Structure 1
Amino acid sequence: MDRRSILKAALLGTASLAAPSFSLARTPDGLFELTAGKGQGRLYGDAGGLSELWLYNDRLPGPEIRVKRGERVRVLFKNTLDEPTSVHWHGIRIDNAMDGVAGLTQPPVQPGESFEYDFVAPDAGTYWYHAHTMSWNQVPRGLAGPLIVEDEKPHFPVKRDITLFLSDWRLDDKGLLETASFGAMHDFAHAGRLGNWLTINGQSMPDIPLQQGRWHRLRLINASASRVLDLAPDRFGAQVIGLDGQAFSAPREISGTLQLAPAQRMDLIVRPEKTGTLPFEMMTGKPFTFARFQVTETDSEDLQLTLPPANDLEEPDLSFARELPLVMAGGAMGGMRSLMRDGVSLNPREMMEAGLFWAFNGSAGMEDTPFFTANQGETIVLESRNDTAFPHAIHLHGHHFRVLERNGVKLDHQDWRDTFTTVPEETVKIAFVADNPGKWLLHCHMLGHSASGMMNWFEVS
């Protein structure tokens, strides 16, 4: 769809933004019940038909799960799909057996079967959950939802603590989800499955209600399969207070654009001064509006701002760190002539036949031996180098890390993240304390890249 058709659809009307489906309620015995199944939804608003989707609890996105920091979370998950699946709790420093990575931390949940996830949410912040079995296919069909961990005392009223679940979709000319290209090798070898339409909380061109003179917290989650979103918070007067669930010590005013890659989250605060309409835009060379803030008048101003405190994460000890390289190679225009798979060297023809286009340190995909083994409490420094022609979003399971440097330059803000972006010919250095025992995945969150080789694992003993 071109820009003209998008704007034409926008003029047909907007929906008033609802919460992400609904907040999931517990059963009397304290369980959340979550079911994966087939369903339908309108992705292009009233101008489009009903798309065939895969959904949690028949909702798009999946129901929001809200818990308190330190709270025990029990989720009875049921699979009514025709294929195996599992649930990953993204960004949570979780017990390894509950991480949801089929084939590494648990067997996949077969059709008609169930699995009980039972873990403690140790850190407050904005997180999400999504399918982690053939995620390149299951997530962009709809299997994802928000997971919000609140502080013991909420800092914003419910109506002003707003989750914005951002997803891009590949639609056909009838506004329906295009499914024939799922698993296309061209997507896997290039930038991934990129959509041509954006929704917020499953809605097309929604209105987001704000109150004049009141502080709001906006929790942005990029649930796209491959799309990196360029956003400009200062265009609607917002400041950044956290990334990937980890709160800053003070708000930051960001001039220009800020990237939100697949799987990343961004927490903003905003207090609109005037009533009326503010565009919520993606910056694609020039601003493209994909939602609108509707500011209404209130009786009084909210001058007091209480920010969430930072989580208690163990700082890396760089004086005793072990440094390891992470070299990304492959993809179209990457010039990779061979890679290793299970100890066997594959030439380009064999790589194509196996559907493998990417490699970490010359190896494609999961192998029997880990990328590295760390002692519990050991500081690990990874120096990644992007030798490909495309950006990547690298996610580390079970841990958060400090982003130390880019291209050898120390960063002014060495933020805590669980997913970092890297562009072609860029070197990024991160550091973390390997303090969570188990087998943990390390992969690109451009989901087609992960499926076609950009994935490995490490072990904390």
Structure 2
Amino acid sequence: MSRKIFLVLLVALAVAGCVQYAGQDGSARPSAERQSVELEDGAVYSITASEVIKNINGKEHQMYAYNGMIPGPLLKVAQGSRISIEFKNDLRHETTVHWHGLRHNVKDDGVPDMSQEPVKRGGKYTYNLYFPDAGIYWYHPHVREDEQQDLGLAGNILVAPKEPIYNQVNREEVLMLDDIYIDNKGIVPYGKDGSNFALMGRYGNVMLLNGKTNYSLEVSRGDVVRFYLTDASNARPFNISIPGARMKLIGSDIGVYEKEEYSDSVVIAPGERYTIEAYFENVGEYKIMNVNPEKEYELGKIIVSDKETANDYSAYFTSLKDNAEITDFKQYFDKEADYNLRLSIDSSMMMAGRMGMEGMPCHRMSDGTMMGNCGDSQDTEPIEWEDTMRMMNSQATSDNTKWIIHDEETGKENMDITMMASIGDKVKISIFNDPESMHPMQHPIHLHGQRFLVLTVDGKHVVNQVWKDTVLVPIGSKIDILVDATNPGQWMFHCHISEHLEAGMMSKFIVNG
């Protein structure tokens, strides 16, 4: 169905719920660049969330940081190890820390009302973390993440494998992709008591790579570099490429692919991670690009010197490694779905705002916003790469917008849904993103505490498997996943567009054992 662009609410409703522009009180310290810390088994490490001042394109903004760094400290640990994090909250608001992708104890998952109470201002909480899986993970708040995460509270965890599952490379780089929405007054305000931009999510207009607008990396001619990518944005999907360099797809959220494959680009949605390798055969400057059908962004650059690589690992790059980890799970691929879910939106609270627009001509504002009755002028695309209706989006709040996970069998929605499993179960969930809703959006769906395989996309079998904890469900698509239930507890299942989460798009997955 063609999408109708509509007015959500009067501007006054959005303005009434806004806080001050960030960067106005000047009481915080300047932010620092990310540092990495290696933590041995049994280590205890302290992390504090606090306010900082960060310079973006020559202007100072008040933001948040873990240990004063944006992104937060890069924690390097070994697979199978355990560490403790002594967390302190120096923010003005309560918060938690969610350890995204970890299959660990549910009481350390950082979800309010499910695993812990929020940490009050000045409060402390100890997280005991376990790392059963190698790969790249990350941590962020699970209280008002539309604001707290967007203002800088995010960091990565790199888990080194017990066994050599990766190729030899010259270096590894951990890249956190993000954006932020800034106007001439500063960072555009967040809702005071709930999120704004609840229709599409908050798309930034300034791109950040590891917290920088001018990221750069120097390597030698012939180097092979492994990049670990994380999309930490509120809503933006990225399409990452390095024109001129060969790229190889190695892994995703919780593991490596069955078979490595060459790729010109990789699409990554909020919450997802991807592991790629790039071979820089020739001297020159290579751009890290985010290219979508509407815009192109240069996120950073890689400068390749004429100094020859110290170790030639090109032979590893030019071969494609196989991995047979998921072979035993293929017997469950064709089972019937245990749960059938539909993703939609409740627009009834917004219909009054839409009335009166039907007779107005369609008009595009200078910021790209569509106003009036645009009718069939914009067909539904599978992915919203940009916010083309920013004014209307900003007026949609978590009070007047309800995003829905709907159980087709029971008719239940969101937190009334409880998906059940026992340890060892293989649970098949079918997820359909309804294109007939008032404003369909792609949804990156994240399951806490477990891992899953993406079996089919629109009825077509996925031929190259990898363990995931987050999957992008495009508009109109139906995706089947197979959950490997290994971790007991009550876990959250939700959309990782921060504003959609704040607008109710979450349910429960309980594993007994």
TM-score range, shorter chain: 0.7 to 0.9
CA offset digits 1:360-409 (Å, max 9, x no partner): 11655434xx5222122111111111114111100011111111111112
In structure 2, the CA distance between the partners of 1:27 and 1:458, relative to structure 1 (3 Å rule), is closer
In structure 2, the CA distance between the partners of 1:20 and 1:120, relative to structure 1 (3 Å rule), is farther
- Equivalent residues in 2 for 1:51-200, closer than 5 Å: 51-152=61-162, 160-173=171-184, 176-180=186-190, 187-188=197-198, 190-200=199-209
CA contact (8 A) 2:493 2:508 kept: yes
CA contact (8 A) 1:329 1:336 kept: no
The alignment partner of 1:187 has SS state of coil
Name the CA distance, whole Å, in 1 between partners of 2:313 and 2:213: 30
- Equivalent residues in 2 for 1:435-450, closer than 5 Å: 435-450=486-501
Q: Name the aligned partner's letter for residue 200 of structure 1.
A: L
CA contact (8 A) 1:31 1:75 kept: yes
Q: Name the aligned partner's letter for residue 201 of structure 2.
A: G
Q: How many angstroms does 1:413 deviate by? A: 2.0
The alignment partner of 2:302 has SS state of strand
Q: Name the aligned partner's letter for residue 226 of structure 1.
A: A
Please point out which of 269, 274, 280 is paired with 1:272: 280
- TM-score between the two structures when normalised by the length of structure 1: 0.83
CA contact (8 A) 1:212 1:271 kept: no
Name the CA distance, whole Å, in 2 between partners of 1:364 and 1:310: 38
CA contact (8 A) 2:169 2:225 kept: no
Gaps (5+ residues) in structure 1? 1-18, 338-350
Name the CA distance, whole Å, in 1 between partners of 2:50 and 2:400: 28
Q: How many angstroms does 1:103 deviate by? A: 1.1
Please point out which of 357, 367, 373 is paired with 2:420: 373
Q: Name the aligned partner's letter for residue 248 of structure 1.
A: Y
In structure 2, the CA distance between the partners of 1:335 and 1:112, relative to structure 1 (3 Å rule), is closer
CA offset digits 1:283-312 (Å, max 9, x no partner): 132543121111123334333538999696
CA contact (8 A) 2:34 2:70 kept: yes
Please point out which of 308, 318, 324 is paired with 2:339: 324
Larger relative contact order (C-alpha < 8 A, sep ≥ 6)? 2
Q: Name the aligned partner's letter for residue 254 of structure 1.
A: S
Q: How many angstroms does 1:24 deviate by? A: 3.0
In structure 2, the CA distance between the partners of 1:315 and 1:95, relative to structure 1 (3 Å rule), is farther
The alignment partner of 2:36 has SS state of coil
For the pair shown, which has the larger CA radius of gyration, 1 or 2? Answer: 2
Task: State the partner residue of 1:11.
Answer: none
In structure 2, the CA distance between the partners of 1:63 and 1:309, relative to structure 1 (3 Å rule), is farther
In structure 2, the CA distance between the partners of 1:114 and 1:431, relative to structure 1 (3 Å rule), is same
Moved more, 436-445 or 286-295: 286-295
In structure 2, the CA distance between the partners of 1:132 and 1:309, relative to structure 1 (3 Å rule), is farther
Task: State the partner residue of 1:302.
Answer: 313
| Identity of matched residues, % | 27
Q: Name the aligned partner's letter for residue 276 of structure 2.
A: L
Name the CA distance, whole Å, in 1 between partners of 2:288 and 2:59: 25
Name the CA distance, whole Å, in 1 between partners of 2:343 and 2:322: 35
In structure 2, the CA distance between the partners of 1:251 and 1:179, relative to structure 1 (3 Å rule), is same
CA contact (8 A) 1:247 1:308 kept: no
Superposed CA RMSD? 3.0
In structure 2, the CA distance between the partners of 1:237 and 1:143, relative to structure 1 (3 Å rule), is same
Name the CA distance, whole Å, in 2 between partners of 1:61 and 1:311: 34
Please point out which of 451, 454, 459 is paired with 1:400: 451
In structure 2, the CA distance between the partners of 1:272 and 1:58, relative to structure 1 (3 Å rule), is same
Q: Name the aligned partner's letter for residue 205 of structure 2.
A: N
Q: How many angstroms does 1:424 deviate by? A: 1.4
Gaps (5+ residues) in structure 2? 1-31, 353-395
Name the CA distance, whole Å, in 2 between partners of 1:172 and 1:156: 44
In structure 2, the CA distance between the partners of 1:360 and 1:212, relative to structure 1 (3 Å rule), is same
Name the CA distance, whole Å, in 1 between partners of 2:89 and 2:322: 37
Please point out which of 251, 261, 271 is paired with 2:269: 261
Q: Name the aligned partner's letter for residue 399 of structure 1.
A: Q
CA offset digits 1:326-348 (Å, max 9, x no partner): 111106699999xxxxxxxxxxx
Task: State the partner residue of 1:281.
Answer: 289
Name the CA distance, whole Å, in 2 between partners of 1:194 and 1:110: 29
Task: State the partner residue of 2:250.
Answer: 241
Moved more, 82-91 or 325-334: 325-334
Task: State the partner residue of 1:13.
Answer: none
Pair 1:385-2:432 in alignment:
yes
The alignment partner of 2:46 has SS state of strand
Name the CA distance, whole Å, in 2 between partners of 1:187 and 1:366: 22
Task: State the partner residue of 2:216.
Answer: 207
Task: State the partner residue of 2:14.
Answer: none
Task: State the partner residue of 1:347.
Answer: none
CA offset digits 1:38-76 (Å, max 9, x no partner): 1111233xxx31111011001100010110000112111
Task: State the partner residue of 1:457.
Answer: 508
Q: Name the aligned partner's letter for residue 267 of structure 2.
A: Q
The alignment partner of 1:215 has SS state of strand
Q: Name the aligned partner's letter for residue 244 of structure 1.
A: D
CA contact (8 A) 2:257 2:465 kept: no
CA offset digits 1:220-253 (Å, max 9, x no partner): 1110011111223565321111111411244211
The alignment partner of 1:137 has SS state of helix
The alignment partner of 2:338 has SS state of strand
In structure 2, the CA distance between the partners of 1:159 and 1:415, relative to structure 1 (3 Å rule), is closer
Name the CA distance, whole Å, in 1 between partners of 2:464 and 2:149: 31
Name the CA distance, whole Å, in 2 between partners of 1:390 and 1:374: 29
Q: How many angstroms does 1:208 deviate by? A: 1.8
The alignment partner of 1:415 has SS state of coil
The alignment partner of 2:329 has SS state of coil
Q: How many angstroms does 1:133 deviate by? A: 1.4
Q: How many angstroms does 1:112 deviate by? A: 1.1
Q: Name the aligned partner's letter for residue 380 of structure 1.
A: V
Number of residues paired by the alignment? 422
